[in-house]
Amino acid sequence: MNYSYYPGCTLKTKAQGLEACAFKSAQVLGVNLVEQEEWQCCGAVYPLAADEIGTKLASVRSLVAARTKGEKLVTLCAACHQVIKRVNHDMKTKEDMREKVNNYLQLKEDYQGESEVIHYLELLRDEVGFESLAKKVKVSLAGRKVAAYYGCLLLRPREIMDFDDPERPTILEKFLESLGASPVNYPYRTECCGGYLSIEREEVVEKMVNKIIDSALQQGAEEIVTACPLCKYNLENSSLCQKGEIVVSYFTELLAESLQVKEG
Amino acid sequence: MLREKITPDTTKKEIGQISEISDEKILDCLQCGKCTAGCPAIHGMDIMPHQVIRLLQLGQVDKLLASTTIWGCAACFTCLSRCPRKVDLSKIMEALRLIVLRTKGNQRLEIDKVPELLAKQIPQQAIVSGFRKYVK
């Protein structure tokens, strides 16, 4: 099946591993991800101000392109997913913004939030199915104690993201189980890593990430997986990670490993 | 005991700006404190999250604009997801930041800092976020 794919800035630079593994795995799973031709950076954070329209236009352009192709729009970076999904929700529900955006873009047909945005994990769960994924696993990750780290952007706000239970999510654990790994349950898996605060408040972030990693270690985790490049950076920058207590990788890296497509 | 009426000081223009930018209703807050209890970034704040709304209810914007709290919010939406009145505090924090940033000379991130950030291996996503959150 064909899907429009929105990569985002970081997946073409610092987080190439996240994307490469997702693409190789998708091929094996019979999913055809086609990168959008003229995607623009989503801006990395959803503009929370109700009076900001210009900063939301890049997302609308990608949403319109997906509508033209009649395909679902797949995201991989948690931040892009949050931005594009929330802008789509605005276009669906906020008449004032919808009118301004359409007046500005002058499309042949007004955009009203018709496209569907799904994250790669939702693609695996809802389109491929974790059961059929499990059948395609070549190298089981049996015995590996993996802590799933969700962070904020995929889960909250629940009403808009509609991804999983924001306090007790299970999608990453079910994903890990389908690869044969043993997911580790720990209380801080949905706690914020500090996100962009690492630009000017490193000392605040340091405390936040150490709490998360400490919590995972206490429950016996040997590695952490995440879907967000900034979460990965913040977690890896923590003193606990620097000491080599735990490794952090993208969930797609484990996926590619178990499907035996990671190398080459 | 000092009693203060919960009536926003409408003479303060910032109060109107905040409700316009955030599109949130500050009088919906009943001061239960769940936002403060669950805030993961609280150690970087000098005014607690529920107090932010209380001060707004009392029309005391200046304290907030000068606080470290508005720059310590990571916009993780934990407060919103736990709020029994569905007040989106992250939008109020954003409005407070924007009132500062939309005033000339208050930019917090210089373009010259980018090479230094890149050298730290910080992902592009964070730098883009920085320009969205600290510059207008």
**What is the average pLDDT score of chain A?**
97
Q: Which CATH class is domain A2-120?
A: mainly alpha
Question: Which of A16-30, A42-56, A133-147, B9-23 has the lowest average pLDDT?
Answer: B9-23
Which residues does chain B have with pLDDT short of 70?
Answer: 1-2, 4-11
Radius of gyration for the alpha carbons in chain A, expressed in angstroms and rounded: 18
**A206-232 mean pLDDT:** 97
Q: How many CB pairs under 8 A join A and B?
A: 133
The CATH class that applies to domain A130-258 reads alpha beta
Residues of A with CB under 8 A from a CB of B: 8-10, 13-15, 41, 43-45, 47-51, 55, 77, 79, 152, 155-158, 166-167, 191-192, 194-201, 203-204, 207-208, 211, 229-230, 232-233
* DSSP category for residue A187: G
Q: Which residue has the tokens 């510059």?
A: B135
Which SS3 state, helix, strand or coil, does residue A25 take? helix
DSSP label at A195? G
Phi, psi of A35 (to 5 degrees): -65, 135
Query: What is the complex's ipTM, to 2 decimals?
Result: 0.95
Give CA–CA dist B119/B91, Å, rounded: 32
Domain ranges of chain A: 2-120, 130-258
Residue range A146-197, pLDDT digits in tens:
999 999 999 999 999 999 999 999 999 999 999 999 999 999 999 999 999 9
pLDDT at B131: 96
Task: Kindly provide the b/e burial profile for residues B63-87, where b requires at least 16 CB atoms within 10 angstroms of the residue's own CB.
Answer: ebeebebbbbbbbbbbbbbbbeeeb
A77-112 confidence digits (pLDDT tens): 999 999 999 999 999 999 999 999 999 999 999 999
Query: Domains of chain B by range and CATH?
Result: 13-103 (1.10.1060.10), 108-136 (no CATH)
Name which of A43, A157, A167 is nearest B132 (Cβ-Cβ).
Answer: A43
What pLDDT is recorded for position A5? 98
Residue type, A239: S
Res B11: pLDDT? 62
Q: What is this structure's pTM?
A: 0.96
Cβ-Cβ contacts under 8 Å for A164 (sequence gap 6 or more): A150, A154, A155, A170, A171
Q: What does the pLDDT read at residue A241?
A: 95
CA A191 to the chain's CA centroid: 15
CA distance A69 to B128: 29
Q: Taking the CA atoms of A214, A216, A221 and A226 in sequence, report the sign of the dihedral they define.
A: negative
Q: Indicate yes or no: CB of B81 within 8 angstroms of CB of A199.
A: no
The number of residues in chain B equals 136
The rounded percent of chain A whose pLDDT value lies above 70 is 100
pLDDT band at A1 (very low <50, low <70, confident <90, very high): confident
Distance from the Cα of B1 to chain A's closest Cα (Å) equals 36
Q: How far is CA A254 from CA A18, A35, A121, B82, in A?
A: 10, 22, 13, 32
SS3 for A44-94, per residue? CCCCCCCCCCHHHHHHHHHHHHHHHHCCCEEECCHHHHHHHHHHHHHHHHC
pLDDT digits (tens, 9 = 90+) for A24-34: 999 999 999 99
